């Protein structure tokens, strides 16, 4: 569902067909500048193109070198995952069932984590007991 930018190659003719949609990506009425690799992958799949994994490809990229930069990256990626999943919902029935399961997990996982944290905080506030089972579940 996401061909990562530094590792992806596109056929020029396919890219030219989708360039206008890609360059004018909006989210909630404003230009969007995050998750562009995921968005382009979904545009390609929606247009009927396919993706292919090449295990022996070699690529180089820059990775965050501090916790703050890493957390900002992860937040951008999470936002694009939620946003672009809505664009990809109609694609899921035609994709491999394991990929569909992965998309469901990517979206439900953070929501279940947030629910667990809220439940643990509620237990702590209402009963003044430490929510060990919640802490164990989050840690695992």
For residues 58 and 122, the model is more confident at 122
99-76-33 Cα angle (round to 5): 105
* Number of separate domains in the chain: 2
* pTM, two decimal places: 0.68
DSSP H/E element including 77: helix 67-88
For residue 65, the enclosing domain spans 1-95
> If you average pLDDT over residues 5-29, what whole number do you get?
82
119 and 85 within one domain: no
pLDDT tens per residue across span 73-111: 888 888 888 888 877 888 888 888 888 888 888 888 888
């Amino acid at each position: 569902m996401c061909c990562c930018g530094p590792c992806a190659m596109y056929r020029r003719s396919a890219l030219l067909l989708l360039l206008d949609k890609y360059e004018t990506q909006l989210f909630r009425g404003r230009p969007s500048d995050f998750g562009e690799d995921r968005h382009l992958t979904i545009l390609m799949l929606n247009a009927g193109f396919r993706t292919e994994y090449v295990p022996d490809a070699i690529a180089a990229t820059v990775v965050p070198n501090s916790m703050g930069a890493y957390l900002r990256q992860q937040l951008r990626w999470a936002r694009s995952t939620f946003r672009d999943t809505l664009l990809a919902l109609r694609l899921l029935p035609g994709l491999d069932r394991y990929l569909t399961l992965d998309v469901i997990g990517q979206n439900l996982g953070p929501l279940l984590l947030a629910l667990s944290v809220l439940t643990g905080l509620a237990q702590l506030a209402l009963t003044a007991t430490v929510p060990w089972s919640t802490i164990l579940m989050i840690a695992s």
